[in-house]
A and B are shown apart, each in its own frame.
Chain A
C-alpha cells in the first residue's frame, strides 16, 4: 500500500448518517476477482438513476466537486459488511480520505489496511467543515503527521496511534508479522 502523509485535494460533503457498505458498493459489483476497477460502482444508486444516467443532484456529479479526493461524511460511515471493496471503490474513484464523526469498525480497519485515511472529527466540526466546502472547488490539505486539516480554516482530527503509524509507514504488514514467526510457532507449540 502507498504510504500516506499529506494529501491536498477537493473536498465533497455527503452528510447523510449511516452510509452503509451496500450504498458505497452494492453486492452486484462484488463478483470481481481484482482490487481495481470498482470506482464505476461507487455509490451506484446515489450517483446513477435506474437507467444508469448520472443524477445531477448528487454531490460527486456536480462539476465543482469533480475529482474530489476527500469526502466529508455523516456518522457511522461504512457500517455493514466486511467488504474491503468499499475502500477499494473509494480509492479507485480517487478518494483517499473520509472525514466523519464515526466509522463502522471493519470499514475502519479495512481502510487503514489499504491506504485510505478514515479521520474522526466531532460532529459539530464535521458539519462546519462541510459548510465551509459546500460551494465546491475548495481544496483541503490533510496532514496526517500533525493530524490537521487546513484550507478552509484549521481543524484537527483523531486517529488511533497504531492506525496512524500503519498509514504513515505503508509497510507490508504480512512481512512484518512473519518476522515474529518464532513467537507464532511458540504459541502453537504450547498446545
Chain B
C-alpha cells in the first residue's frame, strides 16, 4: 500500500462511489444554522424530498440571534427580517425532527463551539456545514469544511456530498512561542506568510512541536482560520490531548490512532518558525495584512508589485499610516467573541488582562461567550465579575459582531479591536474598521483605549 496522509485516509474511508475528480462523499455530521438553510428547505419542499438522516443533522440558531434577552424567544427578536429567518428555520427543523438547539436553549451557542463541546465532532469524521469556518472541527482530526446552500440541500436529501479531492498541504509549526503569543498569533503569522490564497485548493495538516503542545481550544482557533488562508480545511492528527478532551464528553474516548503515514507525500509544504514572533495584529482589510504588534505598517512601495494596489486601498479604508506601528491607535469598540476566540481559554486570557482594570472612557467592549456552556463555566470561575467590574458587557452567546447581522455592529468609520476572523471591508458593519488580534490583545486595547502591546501591560 502506498503511504497516505490523514486527509487521504479520511477521504478514502468516506467515498461511496466515484473518483477523486468527482466523488460522492458520505457525511457523518451535518451542522445547520438559520442563514444558509431556509432556501435549502424550500428546495426540498418543492421537490417533495425528505431529510434522509435527521439523526446525523444538528441544528443551531446562531448567526443573527440577539445577544441579550434570548429566553424571550423568537417572537421577541426586534428585527423583523431576523425574526422571520429564525422562525422559518425553527419551523422547518421541528417539522423534520432534527436535533435542535434553539435560541435560549441551555446548550446553544455558535455551532462551531457547541458541536465539539457536546462531543459530536470526532476523529475520522466528515463534517460539513453551510459556513466556511466549519474548518474548526479539523482540530479533532475530522475532515470538516464549509459548503453552500445547494450543497446543504444535497446533504439533507442524500447524506452525501458530490465533491472533488483537494491537494495535501503540510504546515509545520516549529520554534517556541513567546509570552502572550498563542494560536491566533500563529494563524495570523501563517496567513501573513502564505497569503489569503496560500492554501487554495488544499487541505492543510498542521504538525510540529508547537501544534503538539496546543490545547484543543487553541487547535480549534488555528484550524478555524484555515479558510482565511484559502484552504478547504485544516486538520490536526488526534493524540492524547484529543483523547482526553473527548473522554470527558458525551460519546466518550476516541478509538484508534489516525495519522498520516510517516512517508506520506504532501503536494505542498510550508514551515513556520514561531521563535521571536510577537503578538500579531492586522492593519488592513484581509487577514494576510497582519504584522507583529511592534512592527511598522508596511509602506506599499516596499511590497511586491502584485500587493501594492490592495495595500494602498486598505490603508485608505482603514485610515492608518504606513511606516509606524499601530500602538496607540484609538479604538471605539472591542469585540471578544466569534467561533475563533470565544472558548473558555480565550475568556480566561482576556480576563487575566482585564482583572482590576477599567475599559477606557468612550470605548464600548463586548464579551460574547461562544456558548451557554462557556458562559456557565466562565461564571463559575468568576470571569463575568471580572469583566463587568472592568466595564465590559457580558452578553449571551451567538455570532454577534463577527459579521454584524444582529444589532451588534459597527457604524461607518468606527474602529474595532476584534478577536474574530475577518477584517474585510464592512464585515462588522458598513464602513467599520476591524483589527484582528488575540483575546489578550483585545482586552489590553479595551483598557488603554487604543491598540496596545499586551506584553507591556501583562506580566
Contact = CB atoms under 8 A, between A and B. Distances in A.
A79 B197 contact: yes
Given A17-B306, A20-B286, A35-B39, A106 B148 contact: yes
Contacts of B130: 82, 84
Among A50, A113, A114, A175, residue most surrounded by chain B Cβ atoms (within 10 Å): A113
A18 B148 contact: no
Nearest to B26: A187
B1 to A, nearest CB: 20
Interface in B7-33: 16-17, 21-22, 24, 26
Given A32-B81, A34-B39, A82-B36, A26 B430 contact: yes
B232 interface: yes
B215 to A, nearest CB: 27
A84 B146 CA distance: 11
A27 B404 contact: yes
Among A44, A106, A110, A187, residue most surrounded by chain B Cβ atoms (within 10 Å): A106
B148 A28 contact: no
A173 B63 CA distance: 28
A50 B79 contact: no
A106 B426 contact: no
B82 interface: yes
Interface in A77-121: 79-84, 102, 104-106, 109-110, 113-114
B388 interface: no
Contacts of A16: 309-310, 313
A178 B24 CA distance: 11
Interface stretch (B109-117, B136-144, B154-162, B295-303): B154-162
Interface string B148-174: 111101100111101110100000000
B309 A84 contact: no
B180 interface: no
B426 A23 contact: yes
Interface string B371-404: 0000000000000000000000000000000011
Nearest to B156: A174
Interface string A158-191: 0011100000000011110110100110011000
B196 A79 contact: yes
A90 to B, nearest CB: 13
Nearest to A172: B47
Contacts of B47: 172, 174-175
Given A20-B286, A22-B425, A110-B148, A28 B230 contact: no
A35 B63 CA distance: 18
Interface in A48-69: 50
A113 B147 CA distance: 11
B342 interface: no
Contacts of B16: 180, 183-184, 187
Contacts of A105: 166, 200-201, 230, 232
B84 A161 contact: no
Contacts of A17: 306, 309-310
A156 interface: no
A58 to B, nearest CB: 13
Interface string B411-442: 01000000000101111001100000000000
Contact of A31 (B85, B424, B425): B85
Contact of B147 (A82, A172, A178): A82
Contact of B157 (A20, A28, A178): A178
B42 interface: yes
Contact of A76 (B39, B163, B200): B200
Nearest to B87: A33
B146 A106 contact: yes
B426 to A, nearest CB: 5
Contacts of A162: 21-22, 164
B192 to A, nearest CB: 14
Contact of B132 (A34, A106, A173, A183): A106
A106 B38 contact: no
Given A30-B35, A33-B42, A45 B430 contact: yes
Contacts of B422: 20, 22, 80-81
Contacts of A102: 197, 200
B158 A184 contact: yes
Given A18-B286, A76-B196, A102-B197, A31 B79 contact: yes
B17 A183 contact: yes
A113 B148 contact: yes
Nearest to A23: B425
Given A22-B422, A79-B196, 16 more contacts: A16-B310, A17-B309, A22-B426, A23-B426, A27-B427, A31-B405, A32-B81, A45-B425, A79-B197, A82-B148, A109-B151, A110-B151, A162-B164, A174-B153, A174-B157, A180-B160
27 contacts: A16-B309, A20-B422, A20-B424, A22-B425, A26-B426, A27-B427, A31-B84, A33-B39, A34-B42, A35-B39, A35-B149, A76-B200, A82-B130, A82-B132, A84-B39, A102-B197, A102-B200, A104-B200, A106-B132, A106-B148, A114-B150, A173-B150, A174-B153, A175-B47, A178-B158, A184-B26, A188-B159
Name the 8 nearest CB pairs between A and B, nearest first. A110-B148, A31-B81, A84-B148, A82-B146, A113-B150, A33-B38, A162-B22, A84-B149
